[in-house]
Structure 1
C-alpha cells in the first residue's frame, strides 16, 4: 500500500484500453480513482461484448471499492484497486487489509472520541459475540436490558478465549525493529500488539507486559510518511515467530499478571459503561461461572486415538 499501480497495469489487468481508462480517471478530495457510474458503464459494455472475464474483474473491483474498502462515496480509489490486483495476480488475501482498516477506524474513533466506523459492522458484531458467549450456545434475540445485564456481568471466566478449531503452531510476535506487529491498510497504518492477545491463542500470560511492546502508533496520512511506510514494508522481511517457547496451551493467567489484570478489567468495565451510558436499574446480578476445560494439545489427542 502507499505505492499504487500505474494506469497501464490496471488497464491490462482489467482488459480495457489504457487510453479509455485514463479518460475515466478522476480526483475526489485529493484521492485518485474512478467513479462508480463509469465502472458500471464499462462493465455493461464488456457484458454486451461478451467479454466475461474482463466483466467479472470490473464487477469485482466495484465491490472492492464500494463494499469492502469504501473511502469516498460511490468512488473506487487506487487503494482498493491495489488490494484487488494483489489478490488477482498474487492471490494475497484481502482479509488482513479489512482487519487493519477496522483496527484503524476503531483506534481513530477512540482517539477523537467519536466518529463513524466504515463498513463491516457485522464483522465487529461477530467478533464480539464469538468471545462473549460460549461456543455451542445459541445467541437469542436480546432486548436492551438483557444486553446491559450480559455486558456488565462479563468476567475473565465467562469469556470464550480460545477455539479448539484453531491449530496455530506459531504466532507472529515481532517484525524487524518494531517490538510488535505493524500493519498497513488502505486508510493508514496501525500496530497490532500480540502480547495483548496471546491469550486468545490459548497461551498463558505469566508476567506484566513491557510498556514498549504495547505502545500504539498510527499513520493517518500515508502520503506524508513514506519513510515510515518503507520501514514497515522492510520489517516484514524479518518476521519473528514463537511457538513452543510460549508454553503449554491453556487459558490461564499466572503470577503478578493475574492481580494486575483483574484490577484493569474492573476499571475498563466501569469506564466503558460510563462512556456508553447503559441504563442500569437495580443491582447487577452475577452470572454463575462454570469452570473452563483446558483444550487438549494435538499430541494428547493423538495419544487418545491410539489408546
Structure 2
C-alpha cells in the first residue's frame, strides 16, 4: 500500500501520461493482488539488484522478469527503489543515484529529505539568484500547502490570482500552525557542538533553527530568539567536504530535546516582543513581493447590520479585550514560567532533602560503626594498659637487677683493678731488678771485653816473643851447623 500511495502522489505531481508511471501503476496493482503483499523486501535483493541495475529502464525490464517469475518481493523492491530515485532524490534523468539506493536500504529518508529541501531552497535564495527546485519539490509543495487555509476567501480567490499575491494577503493568525500529531511533544533542538540542528543531504549540508519551530509544535513564541539560535552554523556542499560531513554525522550521536519542560504547556500564540522582532527581520530581509491587504474574512460569516457607532464601540471593546487577553496570556505565561521555575526549585529541594536524608542515614550508620569501633578500641586500650603496667613492672625489676649487677660488676672491676695494679707493681719491681741485672751484666761484659783486649795484647806480645825466640834458636842452630871459619887470620 505504501508503494501505491507513493505512485499516486507522483502521478498527481508529475506528468500522468508518463510511460514509466503507467508501468509502475500496472506492476503495483498486480503486486497488490498477490498474497505476499505485506512482506517486506529482503535487503540482499535490494542491494544486489540496485547496484547491478542503476538505469531506470533496465530496472523496469528486470522487474518485469521478476514479475513473470512470481518473485513479488524483488518487484516491490525495484519499484520502491525507482520511486526513491525519480521522485524523492532525482539527480539525473531516468537514472537512480547510488545515494538514493543507500537511503532506500537504510529505510529512513526523512532527515536527508529535509536536508536536501533546506539546502536547495537556501542555495536558490542565496544572493537572490532564484531558480527551480528539483529536490523533493512535490513533498515540499504538499508540506507547504498543509499550513495554508483550506476554506474561506483564500480558497475562493481561484486560479487567476498568482501565488505571491495570495500568500502576501495572509496573516499569522490565518495559518494552520499546528497539527494534532505533534502538539506539545519534545523535539530535537540541537546536536553536539552546534547551537542548532545540522542536516546532511545528498547535495549538501545545512542547519535549521528549531527555535523558530516552537509555534508549529504548539508552543508560544514569547520573546525574540537569541542570535546564536538563528545563525548559519553549517552550509557547504558534500563534494570536497567529507571531513566536515563526518563531523556533522558524529554530532548526531549526541542530540538534545526540548518541550514542555523548557517552554511549558502548549499555547499556540505569538506575543508582541516576538512579533516586533519578526517585523524588523522582514524589513531587514526585504521580501521580494509587495505587501497587500489581508484577505478577510477567510471564513464566511453570517452577515449582520449594525450602526457605525455600535461598530466603533464594539471594535474599541474588542481591541480592549484583545489587549487584556494578550496581557492576561502574557501574565499567565509568566506565572506558568514562575510556577515551572518554582516547581523545578521544589524538585531540586526535594532531591536535596532526599540526598541529605540519605546522607544523614549514611552518617548515622557511619557514626554507629565509629562508636562500635571506639568501644572495641577502649577495650583494646584497657588490655594494652594492663600489658603496659606489667611491662613497666618487668622493666623496673629489670632495672633493679641491672643496678645490682652493675654494683657487683663495679666491685669486681675494682678488685680486678687492685689485682692488676699489684701485678703491675710486681712487674715493675721485676723490671727494675732485670734492669739492674742487665746493667750488672753489661758492666761485666764491658770488663770482660777489656780483659779480653788486654789478653789479646798479651797473647800478641807472647807470640811475637815466641817468634823472636824461634828465629834466634834457628839462627843458633844454623851457626852450629856451619861451625868456625878456617882461614888466615888477620894477625
TM-score (norm 2): 0.47
| Structure 1 Cα separation of the partners of residues 100 and 144 of structure 2 | 26
Q: 2:118 aligns to what?
A: 103
Deviations 1:225-277 (A, max 9, x none): 11211111111111101122112221223363332223434666x62315xxx
Deviations 1:264-302 (A, max 9, x none): 34666x62315xxxxx9xx8466258989x9xxxxxxxx
Q: 1:169 aligns to what?
A: 185
| Matched-pair contact (CA < 8 Å) for 1:135–1:160 | no
User: Superposition pairs for residues 1-307 of structure 1, below 5 Å?
Assistant: 12-14=44-46, 16=48, 34-87=54-107, 92=108, 94-111=109-126, 113-118=129-134, 120-133=136-149, 139-140=155-156, 142-145=158-161, 147=163, 150-216=166-232, 217-220=234-237, 222-244=238-260, 245-254=262-271, 256-265=273-282, 271-273=287-289, 284=293, 287-288=296-297
CA RMSD for the aligned pairs? 3.4
**CA drift at 1:146:** 7.3
Larger RCO (alpha carbons 8 Å, 6+ apart): 1
Q: 2:314 aligns to what?
A: none
Matched residues, number: 259
Q: 1:30 aligns to what?
A: none
Deviations 1:158-193 (A, max 9, x none): 222223343442121111101100111222212111
| Matched-pair contact (CA < 8 Å) for 2:197–2:210 | yes
Deviations 1:10-32 (A, max 9, x none): 993337589xx55x6xxxxxxxx
Between Structure 1 and Structure 2, the one with more helix by share is 2
Structure 2 gaps, min length 5: 1-41, 300-321, 330-491
| Matched-pair contact (CA < 8 Å) for 2:184–2:265 | no
| Structure 2 Cα separation of the partners of residues 208 and 247 of structure 1 | 17
| Structure 2 Cα separation of the partners of residues 39 and 170 of structure 1 | 41
| Matched-pair contact (CA < 8 Å) for 1:69–1:80 | yes
Stretch of structure 1 that moved more, 52-61 or 250-259: 250-259
**CA drift at 1:81:** 0.4
Taking a change above 3 Å as real, the CA distance of residues 140 and 166 of structure 1, as seen in their structure-2 partners, is farther
Q: 2:344 aligns to what?
A: none
Taking a change above 3 Å as real, the CA distance of residues 11 and 214 of structure 1, as seen in their structure-2 partners, is same
| Structure 2 Cα separation of the partners of residues 175 and 235 of structure 1 | 6
Taking a change above 3 Å as real, the CA distance of residues 60 and 137 of structure 1, as seen in their structure-2 partners, is farther
| Structure 2 Cα separation of the partners of residues 228 and 160 of structure 1 | 37
| Matched-pair contact (CA < 8 Å) for 2:153–2:298 | no
| Structure 2 Cα separation of the partners of residues 229 and 15 of structure 1 | 24
| Structure 1 Cα separation of the partners of residues 76 and 144 of structure 2 | 34
Structure 1 gaps, min length 5: 1-9, 25-33, 275-279, 295-307
**CA drift at 1:55:** 2.2
Between Structure 1 and Structure 2, the one with more strand by share is 1
